């Protein structure tokens, strides 16, 4: 099974570069399933039915979220209509689901969305909850398991790798929008601390620079905006999983504006 995991897609620039590259990339790289973090899809904050339909049209199969999943309240009724996840460790009663099993070409892939603790507000303990969910999936005979760990702290993400090594296929870090260079495979589990954003690359985490700099200098919040014109980047991980749910290879892939996607990093085994 070959899976493409796309980092946080940020607003219209992210959707535009997704449209430009995804269909061709799926065909040329023989991708079976596409997962994308879309919590910043609609003008940088949350999702709408229109923007979700747009990325599905471009070829995304499974949508994950994070702390911005509910910024656009209109999306709430649609959680049961799409292959869309929100973090599993939100309290009971919150709409949506945090885990799903997707079947393609007679193969099953479980995807779990998980939110970190540091800086993320009131959620259940991610480590205890994911341990139970992985055990539940394994009890159902699911071998291929990918986790989108949406977290601020790289230490949390790294700890999850060592806790779940050999038990899941891949742990993809999201949220910081800054791609990291630690793509690796440990005991059959692939890992990267952050896939990186898909969107504007010459702003701050995909946003116009003025509001973030103002906030850093003054401590006062200012509305973030999306640059009207920017250089765009597409960032993703290609994940190869064998028949036993083990990651056997992983590659980081990037594309800039109109340039063709290129492999920029091969996984290392530790």
The string of pLDDT tens digits covering residues 159-174 is 999 999 999 999 999 9
Q: What is the model's pLDDT at position 88?
A: 97
> Higher confidence at residue 186 or residue 229?
186
Q: Does the predicted TM-score (pTM) go above 0.85? A: yes
Q: Are 263 and 251 in contact (CB under 8 A)?
A: yes
So which residues are the catalytic ones?
A: 68
Q: How confident is the model at residue 140 (pLDDT cuts 50, 70, 90)?
A: very high
pLDDT digits (tens, 9 = 90+) for 34-59: 999 999 999 889 999 999 999 999 99
Cα gap 219→214, rounded to integer Å: 8
Domain that includes residue 210, residue range: 2-269
Cα gap 40→48, rounded to integer Å: 10
Q: How confident is the model at residue 264 (pLDDT cuts 50, 70, 90)?
A: very high
Whether the pLDDT of residue 153 is over 90: the answer is yes
* Overall number of domains in the chain: 1
Whether the pLDDT of residue 77 is over 90: the answer is no
Q: Are 31 and 1 in contact (CB under 8 A)?
A: no
Main-chain phi, psi angles of 157, to 5 degrees: -65, -45
Give CA angle at 55 (3, 184), nearest 5°.
30
Residues 6+ apart with CB under 8 A from 212: 204, 205, 224
State whether residue 25 is helix, strand or coil.
helix
Least-confidence region, from 108-112, 204-208, 231-235 = 204-208
Whether the pLDDT of residue 120 is over 90: the answer is no
What CATH number has the domain bearing residue 108?
3.60.21.10
Whether the pLDDT of residue 79 is over 90: the answer is no
């Amino acid at each position: 099974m070959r899976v493409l995991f796309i980092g946080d897609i940020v607003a219209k620039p992210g959707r535009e570069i997704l449209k430009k590259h995804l269909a061709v990339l799926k065909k040329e790289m023989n991708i079976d399933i596409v997962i994308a973090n879309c919590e910043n899809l609609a003008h940088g904050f949350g999702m709408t039915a229109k923007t979700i339909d747009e990325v599905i049209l471009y070829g995304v199969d499974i949508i994950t979220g994070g702390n911005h999943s509910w910024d656009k309240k209109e999306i709430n009724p649609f959680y049961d209509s799409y292959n869309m996840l929100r973090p599993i460790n939100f309290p009971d009663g919150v709409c949506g689901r945090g885990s799903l099993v997707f079947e393609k070409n007679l193969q099953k892939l479980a995807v779990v969305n998980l939110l970190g603790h540091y800086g993320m507000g009131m959620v259940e303990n991610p480590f205890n909850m994911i341990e139970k969910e992985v055990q539940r999936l394994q009890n159902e005979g699911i071998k291929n398991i990918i986790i989108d760990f949406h977290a601020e702290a790289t230490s949390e993400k790294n700890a999850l790798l060592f806790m779940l090594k050999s038990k899941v296929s891949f742990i993809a870090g999201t949220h910081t929008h800054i791609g990291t260079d630690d793509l690796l495979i440990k005991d059959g589990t692939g890992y990267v601390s952050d896939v990186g954003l898909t969107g504007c690359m010459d702003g701050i985490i995909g946003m116009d620079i003025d509001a973030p700099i103002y906030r850093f200098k003054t401590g006062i919040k200012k509305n973030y905006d999306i640059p009207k014109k920017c250089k765009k980047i597409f960032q993703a991980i290609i994940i190869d999983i064998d028949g036993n749910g083990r990651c056997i290879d992983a590659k980081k892939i990037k594309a800039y504006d109109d340039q063709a996607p290129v492999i920029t990093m091969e996984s290392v085994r530790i």
